[in-house]
Chain A
Amino acid sequence: MSQAERDRLLAWAARRARGRPAFLASDLAAYQGLHQLDEAQLAAWLGCTARSLADLALCRRPAADAPTFRADVEQIAAHVGVHAERLARLLRETGTVVALRTAPTRPPTELGLLLAARDRQDAPASTSPTEPEGKGGHADNDADEAPP
């Protein structure tokens, strides 16, 4: 079987995995939707090829609140060849959106406080030395660069 056929099968599986929250495919799709990105744009932002997106999509989704989150993100980034910090950012953003969508309805004031608290909590994270950095685990200070 050719490499092209193998890539086609993995791309098929990656699309199929979008409906399964256990895989990163669901986060990539959510992020594309949030920022109106096509695959090429998302791949460029993550620092990989469109072909590598399928590999990334088939990785297990690290739980944002798990103690292994940073290590998991770095492992995935190194395995696939993407910017670890941007991947972490993508996961935090899609995780927040999912949490807000699935959370029980709260009074607006309380929700506003929670979001403000979360913003404060997230703010220093982009410069924290414990934050995963760089493509494939290498340093790369572009945490604040917006997606295209």
Chain B
Amino acid sequence: MGALPEEVFERELHQRLLSGDPVASQELAAAFLEPLVDRLRTKFQRLGDETLVLDAATDAVLGYAERPSQFNPDKLRLLPYLVMSARGDLLNALERRRRQAGREIPTDRVEDLLDARNSLRKEADPGERVAVPDLQEVVGRVRETITDPVDRQMVYLMAQGERRTEPFAAVLGIAGLDVEQQRRIVKRHKDRLKKRLARLGVELREPS
């Protein structure tokens, strides 16, 4: 593990970056790249692709060197700030990768959505009993609206009553993240899809 630079050194370096010292950015990279990569490797140890970690770490360091005024050393130490910045980039990169992978998912999996029709039902207006519309129509509406293949697979799993995080994480391409991060990201996507389905007048039954 790389040694953590001293706070005094951090503050001096920050001032030198602010004043335009031309070699401060090199010293920053030499001092912080190593501990930053170490931290990210620990946080994302199951990522399986070090390129993403190195790019995110590098971009965080170079970004700070370009815009040092965005960092306030009175509020935070530099390494946690760089970790936070790199983590955001890393999650964005994973999201882009997930979307790209989604475009490559075979369409026959998407068609499985139709098999989930028995788990879909029309959400009845409160206080009003109305006839449940034709399920085929509801499924057709879902298919027209949710066009992203990954979202469709998520909906398929939800409609199947799947509650485990792992299958959703696999679909999202985030299986390499730690369990807590997977759980948070999966929940966020499920909540988003539930809202979209609700706007279509559809709610998914939670398995008892």
Contact = CB atoms under 8 A, between A and B. Distances in A.
B24 interface: yes
B117 to A, nearest CB: 49
Given A1-B1, A9-B34, A16 B59 contact: yes
Nearest to A21: B66
B11 to A, nearest CB: 19
Contact of B33 (A10, A20, A22, A60): A10
B22 A72 contact: yes
Contacts of A16: 55, 58-59, 62
Contacts of B37: 9
Contacts of A58: 25-26, 29-30
Interface size class of B (residues with CB under 8 A): 20 to 34
A59 interface: yes
B13 interface: no
Interface string B33-76: 11001100000000000000011011101100110000000000
Interface size class of A (residues with CB under 8 A): 20 to 34
Interface in A36-57: 55-56
B61 A13 contact: yes
Given A6-B34, A22-B66, A58-B29, A13 B23 contact: no
B5 interface: no
Contact of A13 (B1, B22, B62): B62
A12 B50 CA distance: 12
B34 A75 contact: no
B88 interface: no
Nearest to B25: A60
A62 interface: yes
Contacts of A56: 26
Interface string A1-14: 10001100110110
A88 interface: no
B25 A23 contact: yes
Contacts of A23: 25, 62, 65
Contacts of B25: 23, 58-60
Contacts of A75: 21-23
A60 B30 contact: no
Contacts of A76: 22-23
A79 B66 contact: no
Given A1-B2, A16-B59, A20-B66, A9 B22 contact: no
Contacts of A22: 65-66
Interface of A: 1, 5-6, 9-10, 12-13, 16-17, 20, 22-23, 55-56, 58-62, 68, 72, 75-76, 79-80
Interface of B: 1-2, 20-26, 29-30, 33-34, 37-38, 54-55, 57-59, 61-62, 65-66
5 contacts: A13-B33, A16-B59, A20-B66, A23-B25, A55-B30
